[in-house]
């Protein structure tokens, strides 16, 4: 296919909805954690939308949205208000959604992203508070199709994060989502899992000729349920629009749905004008006034963000890849910090050693236990540090260290205990006689390798060395074995 994208610049803006992690819902005391709950069990007159009941603002949700806004470099308003967004749909219990219209809590921020081409800053238009809707479950039976309503989700705190149309490629959009997810998890505001539905993304995309400053007609894409599908939908849509423009067609301003199976977007509804939601101030809730102390208190409690963590890890001597991988997840970063702290004073290479183990053996455990966090890793950081120190001090070899690591995982014992119990200490100078005996027996038992060696094949030495290491179960000092072997073989020449 001839690429049609060379003539146009792609312009992308994203709207992300995230469910907050709070104990109760936004305006009532029902539990907000409905995962695994029987449908319609987390309900009360407020989130059922019965007349005559009054909502109460969840302070924890306000704390979290302020933390999100501050982390995204937004201005936090000392005065904002809630508004009713009116529309009729079966998932909306009251016939309106409590949201924020003209006075959102947070505005005018940005998020810095690292992409292959370098650093890129994406503007954040606004971050506002609203409530989630009920969930519709669509079913089919012989008589036709029908829908069920689960009200458990109704009223769960929802934050909408609207970006500026600053992204110029599906790659940038993906980088934005990944960094937003990291940030939300790092500050503990949301699980931010697209597949679980607590992180949802709609994308606005338009094309314009390079050099043009006016925006082209935009299309909104919905129904994407993974980062991959957002990326694929944007890739598809930019090609579809480019082809249409080249053929002289007008782009229709519309909402299109992503069809994962077919890999295409499909027109859902044409927007002739902006939807009229007839917003008006929510009469049952007072305006929200946030004191400077309240905001500054939250600012002081925001943990180190992923980008700052990464910089700090680089300053410890890690490379970009190591620092990036270790900083992207909170529990991983915490484990790394604890490990470095436990190693401090015991090795000058503490950060590098910690990173090697984190990205090696520990990452392997992490990969094998999908859905678990490193905070659940059975070996505590100070125990792992003990193992690393034993290796660094030459008490055990690297090969044995890996065996001990496995034993620590399976038996829950400490590294020193395992080394003593199983007699795994490295065989060094003090075990010279023992090693010489093993070296001699290996030479005796391997005539072919010996002949090869005497014929000048250097690979034979490697083979014999391997045999000695095998007989000692990896415990022998590698360099020592090599010199002993060479001495014995020299004597035979």
| Cβ proximity to Zn ion, 28 vs 438, nearer residue | 28
| Cβ proximity to Zn ion, 30 vs 219, nearer residue | 30
Q: Which two tokens stand for residue 169?
A: 């490629």
Do residues 183 and 307 lie in contact, with contact meaning Cβ atoms separated by under 8 Å?
A: no
Q: For residue 329, what are the CA distances in angstroms to 180, 183, 191, 404?
A: 12, 9, 12, 27
| Cβ proximity to Zn ion, 28 vs 186, nearer residue | 28
| Cβ proximity to Zn ion, 44 vs 316, nearer residue | 44
Do residues 59 and 24 lie in contact, with contact meaning Cβ atoms separated by under 8 Å?
A: no
**Bridging pattern class, strands 96-99 and 144-150:** unpaired
Sheet holding 96-99, edge to edge: 96-99, 83-86, 280-281
| Cβ proximity to Zn ion, 44 vs 461, nearer residue | 44
| Cβ proximity to Zn ion, 19 vs 204, nearer residue | 19
Q: What is the DSSP string of 115-129?
A: ETTEEEEEEEEEEEE
| Cβ proximity to Zn ion, 50 vs 215, nearer residue | 50
Nearest to 169 by CA among 38, 14, 372, 16: 14
- Provide the minimum distance between the beta carbon of 56 and Zn ion in the complex, in angstroms, as a whole number: 11
Q: Is 289 helix (H, G, I), strand (E, B) or coil?
A: strand
Q: Which secondary structure element, helix H or strand E, spans residue 221, and what is its range?
A: strand 219-222
- Provide the minimum distance between the beta carbon of 43 and Zn ion in the complex, in angstroms, as a whole number: 6
Residues that bind Zn ion (CB under 5 A): 28, 30, 44, 46-47
Q: Is 407 helix (H, G, I), strand (E, B) or coil?
A: helix
Q: For residue 147, what are the CA distances in angstroms to 40, 91, 136, 137?
A: 14, 10, 6, 5
- Provide the minimum distance between the beta carbon of 35 and Zn ion in the complex, in angstroms, as a whole number: 16
- Provide the minimum distance between the beta carbon of 20 and Zn ion in the complex, in angstroms, as a whole number: 15
- Provide the minimum distance between the beta carbon of 81 and Zn ion in the complex, in angstroms, as a whole number: 22
| Cβ proximity to Zn ion, 41 vs 297, nearer residue | 41
- Provide the minimum distance between the beta carbon of 61 and Zn ion in the complex, in angstroms, as a whole number: 14
Do residues 408 and 418 lie in contact, with contact meaning Cβ atoms separated by under 8 Å?
A: yes
Do residues 377 and 362 lie in contact, with contact meaning Cβ atoms separated by under 8 Å?
A: yes
Do residues 31 and 38 lie in contact, with contact meaning Cβ atoms separated by under 8 Å?
A: no
Position of tokens 């905001």?
295
- Provide the minimum distance between the beta carbon of 31 and Zn ion in the complex, in angstroms, as a whole number: 9
| Cβ proximity to Zn ion, 30 vs 245, nearer residue | 30
- Provide the minimum distance between the beta carbon of 50 and Zn ion in the complex, in angstroms, as a whole number: 10
Q: Which two tokens stand for residue 405?
A: 């690591």
- Provide the minimum distance between the beta carbon of 80 and Zn ion in the complex, in angstroms, as a whole number: 23
Q: What is the DSSP string of 49-65?
A: T-TT------HHHHHHH
DSSP bridge pairs for 207: 10
């Amino acid at each position: 296919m001839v690429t049609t994208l060379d003539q146009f610049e792609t312009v992308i803006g994203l709207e992300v909805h995230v469910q907050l992690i709070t104990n109760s819902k936004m305006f009532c005391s029902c539990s907000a954690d409905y995962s695994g709950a029987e449908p319609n069990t987390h309900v009360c007159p407020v989130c059922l939308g019965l007349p005559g009941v009054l909502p109460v603002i969840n302070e924890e949700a306000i704390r979290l949205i302020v933390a999100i806004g501050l982390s995204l470099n937004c201005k936090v308003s000392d005065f904002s208000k809630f508004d009713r967004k009116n529309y009729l749909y079966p998932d909306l219990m009251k016939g309106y959604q409590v949201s924020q219209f003209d006075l959102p809590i947070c505005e005018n921020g940005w998020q810095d992203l690292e992409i292959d081409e370098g650093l890129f800053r994406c503007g954040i238009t606004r971050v506002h508070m609203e409530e989630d809707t009920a969930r519709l479950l669509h079913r089919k039976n012989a008589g036709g199709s029908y829908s069920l309503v689960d009200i458990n989700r109704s009223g769960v705190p929802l934050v909408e994060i609207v970006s500026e149309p600053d992204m110029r490629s599906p790659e940038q959009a993906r980088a934005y989502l990944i960094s937003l997810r990291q940030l939300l998890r790092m500050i503990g505001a949301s699980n931010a899992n697209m597949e679980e539905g607590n992180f949802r993304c709609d994308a606005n995309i338009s094309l314009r000729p390079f050099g043009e400053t006016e925006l082209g007609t935009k299309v909104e894409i919905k129904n994407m349920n993974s980062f991959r599908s957002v990326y694929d939908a944007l890739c598809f849509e930019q090609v579809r629009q480019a082809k249409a423009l080249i053929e002289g067609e007008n782009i229709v301003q519309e909402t299109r749905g992503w069809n994962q199976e077919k890999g295409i977007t499909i027109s859902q509804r044409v927007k002739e004008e902006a939807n009229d939601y007839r917003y008006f101030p929510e009469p049952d809730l007072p305006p929200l006034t946030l004191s400077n102390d309240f905001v500054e208190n939250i600012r002081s409690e925001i943990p180190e963000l992923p980008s700052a963590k990464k910089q700090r890890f680089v300053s410890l001597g890690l490379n970009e890849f190591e620092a990036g991988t270790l900083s992207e997840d909170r529990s991983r970063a915490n484990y790394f910090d604890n490990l470095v702290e436990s190693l401090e004073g015991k090795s000058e290479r503490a950060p590098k050693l910690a990173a090697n183990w984190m990205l090696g053996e520990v990452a392997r455990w992490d990969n094998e236990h999908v859905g678990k966090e490193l905070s659940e890793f059975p070996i505590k950081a100070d125990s792992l540090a003990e193992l690393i120190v034993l290796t660094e001090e030459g008490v055990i070899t690297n090969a044995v260290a890996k065996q001990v690591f496995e034993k620590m995982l399976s038996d829950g014992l400490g590294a020193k205990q395992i080394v003593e119990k199983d007699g795994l200490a490295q065989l060094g100078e003090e075990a010279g006689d023992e090693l010489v005996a093993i070296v001699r027996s290996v030479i005796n038992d391997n005539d072919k390798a010996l002949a090869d060696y005497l014929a000048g094949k250097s690979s034979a030495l490697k083979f014999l060395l391997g045999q000695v290491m095998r007989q000692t179960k990896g415990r022998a000092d590698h360099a020592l074995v090599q010199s002993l072997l060479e001495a014995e073989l020299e004597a035979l020449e």
